[in-house]
Amino acid sequence: MTTEQAKASDPRPRGRPRLDIDDNDVADAVAELIAERGVEGLTFNDAAEKLSVSRATLYRTIPTKEHLLAVLLVRSMNEMNELVADALKRIDDPAEQLLALVELQIDAAIRMRQYMPLFFGQGDMPAETYTRWQGWARDFEQAWVEVVRRNMQAGTLADGDPVITARLLLGACLWVSRWYRPTDRFTAEQIRQSALDLVNSMVPPRAAGEA
Amino acid sequence: MTTEQAKASDPRPRGRPRLDIDDNDVADAVAELIAERGVEGLTFNDAAEKLSVSRATLYRTIPTKEHLLAVLLVRSMNEMNELVADALKRIDDPAEQLLALVELQIDAAIRMRQYMPLFFGQGDMPAETYTRWQGWARDFEQAWVEVVRRNMQAGTLADGDPVITARLLLGACLWVSRWYRPTDRFTAEQIRQSALDLVNSMVPPRAAGEA
């Protein structure tokens, strides 16, 4: 909403001070508040305060707590898209691509653990965010499936249905959001390394026999 | 509650018709109703009707919808305990034990998919059921960790922290409860087989080199 077009359709009356609220600032504020108090503890008031705007100003752009959270969810999807696209562009080898996806996903599960359940039906999501999320999830899974497929073709993963295999691997990574605790004895780095070791150890029977 | 002691402490007045409600029947009724209408659609009335008892009679044994669900959750825990104990007694080889655990877990994730989220904080659980679940989850994970540890010692899984590795593998299996749909193109058997193939393909680097 920073284009001239968006400004032209802005319903804010002339003469008032410009009080643009940047989506990135909102996402940062929401993420910080969630880190401090959890999703349950997030309030509209606290968000306005953290953004140094009045409740009324915030309300004009973002009408509900669900919409506040949605700004963060949308940014998270965009972030993941960029990270994955970048990794797949940077890396050619399918086996290395898979390891990069696993690493990104474990990191995301840890970083987003407090609000990840929102993506999976806990709490409400504005309808348009939900639609966006469904499309995103489909495309995101497709990226994983393609990498898994290439590994099966290259003989670096056991043959099988690439969709099922991708979902099993994604599940191992996503589930980390359930059990990771910063106060636990396991560091994010240890979990990441274990996941990489595990995926690295997946050698299809023929390749193992040839080795 | 079928022992003489339990009967002696039964607060039901003498002379009334015996209206024992068997936990197994309750669990069956609740599971059937959930399969038909989902957890949200489960009502106290429907449960009483399915059990052929009056609302009042059901209420005397099981005071809330949460307690109804808890009967099913407790039976699920007991079932899993029996299945795992039986598999570990029946099978000696650590690699085969791990495959058996994976198979059991995939099947459970599919069978219990509609109410599994209750175990993970969606919806309320009676306090005593929650305490029981916490203890159960700890012991259950411990069984997985032991099998993973034995596989690492036997050289059938890459070395690593057995707790992290067990959680990653459990996550792959548990996550199936999120994405499995009976109407989908993937059958339970295909998913089970893919998971077994994937775990079977995990060969620690040294073993692969020796092969």
Query: Which one has a higher pLDDT value, A153 or B207?
Result: A153
Closest CA to A112 of A188, A196, A26: A188
Q: With respect to residue A1, please indicate whether it lies within any of the assigned structural domains.
A: no
- Looking at residue A21, the DSSP 8-state letter turns out to be -
pLDDT surpassing 50 at residue A106:
yes
- ipTM at complex level: 0.86
Q: With respect to residue B151, please indicate whether it lies within any of the assigned structural domains.
A: yes
Q: With respect to residue B3, please indicate whether it lies within any of the assigned structural domains.
A: no
pLDDT at A118: 86
How many Cβ pairs closer than 8 A exist between chain A and B? 120
The neighbour count for residue B14, using CB atoms within 10 Å, is 5
Residue B82 Cα, gap to closest chain A Cα (Å) = 25
Residue of B nearest to A120 (CA): B178
Nearest residue, CB atoms, B164 vs list A159, A186, A209: A186
Nearest residue, CB atoms, A174 vs list B122, B158, B175: B175
Put simply, the answer to whether A176 touches B167 (Cβ < 8 Å) is yes
Percent of chain B residues past pLDDT 70, beyond the cut:
86
Q: With respect to residue B150, please indicate whether it lies within any of the assigned structural domains.
A: yes
The predicted model gives B120-133 an average pLDDT of 86
Given CB atoms, is A186 within the 8 Å cutoff of chain B? yes
pLDDT at B205: 62
A98 and A162 share one domain: yes
Residue A196, phi then psi, degrees to nearest 5: -65, -45
Q: What rounded mean pLDDT belongs to chain B?
A: 88
Residue A119 Cα, gap to closest chain B Cα (Å) = 12
At B32-47, the pLDDT tens digits run 999 999 998 999 999 9
Given CB atoms, is B156 within the 8 Å cutoff of chain A? no
The predicted model gives A111-132 an average pLDDT of 87
Given CB atoms, is B71 within the 8 Å cutoff of chain A? no
A51 and A80 share one domain: no
pLDDT at A21: 85
pLDDT at B211: 42
A111: Cα separation from own chain's centroid: 9
pLDDT at B52: 92
Q: Is the dihedral of CA A53, A56, A59, A60 positive or negative?
A: negative
Put simply, the answer to whether B164 touches A203 (Cβ < 8 Å) is no
Q: From CA A99, how far away is CA A209, in angstroms rounded?
A: 23
pLDDT surpassing 90 at residue A119:
no
Token representation of residue B51: 């059990």
The predicted model gives B20-29 an average pLDDT of 91
pLDDT surpassing 80 at residue B84:
yes
Put simply, the answer to whether B198 touches A160 (Cβ < 8 Å) is yes
Put simply, the answer to whether B172 touches A176 (Cβ < 8 Å) is no
The predicted model gives B162-177 an average pLDDT of 97
Query: Which chain A positions have a beta carbon within 8 Å of B171's beta carbon?
Result: 171-176, 178-179
Nearest residue, CB atoms, B179 vs list A167, A169, A173: A167
Q: With respect to residue B68, please indicate whether it lies within any of the assigned structural domains.
A: no
Query: Which chain B positions have a beta carbon within 8 Å of A197's beta carbon?
Result: 158-160
B88 and B165 share one domain: yes
How many structural domains is chain A composed of?
A: 2
A16 and A81 share one domain: no
Closest CA to B169 of A172, A205, A3: A172
A135 and A184 share one domain: yes
Residues whose CB falls within 8 Å of the CB of residue B99, separated by 6 or more in sequence, listed in order: B196, B199, B200
Q: What rounded mean pLDDT belongs to chain A?
A: 88
Put simply, the answer to whether A201 touches B157 (Cβ < 8 Å) is yes
pLDDT at B21: 85
At A17-51, the pLDDT tens digits run 446 789 999 999 999 999 999 998 999 999 999 99
A125 and A173 share one domain: yes
Report residue A181's pLDDT band, with 50, 70 and 90 as the boundaries. Answer: very high
Given CB atoms, is A207 within the 8 Å cutoff of chain B? yes
End residue of a domain, out of B18, B34, B63: B63
A101 and A55 share one domain: no
At A47-99, the pLDDT tens digits run 999 999 999 999 999 999 999 999 999 999 999 999 999 999 999 999 999 99
Residue B202, phi then psi, degrees to nearest 5: -80, 105
B168 and B114 share one domain: yes
Put simply, the answer to whether A197 touches B158 (Cβ < 8 Å) is yes
Q: With respect to residue A2, please indicate whether it lies within any of the assigned structural domains.
A: no
pLDDT surpassing 80 at residue A166:
yes
Helix, strand, or coil (residue A64): coil
- Kindly report which listed range (A170-174, B8-12, B77-81, B118-122) carries the lowest average pLDDT score: B8-12
pLDDT surpassing 60 at residue B74:
yes
pLDDT at B206: 54
pLDDT at B19: 61
CATH number at residue B17: 1.10.10.60
Domain that holds residue B170: 74-203
Put simply, the answer to whether B167 touches A174 (Cβ < 8 Å) is no
pLDDT surpassing 80 at residue A210:
no
Given CB atoms, is B15 within the 8 Å cutoff of chain A? no
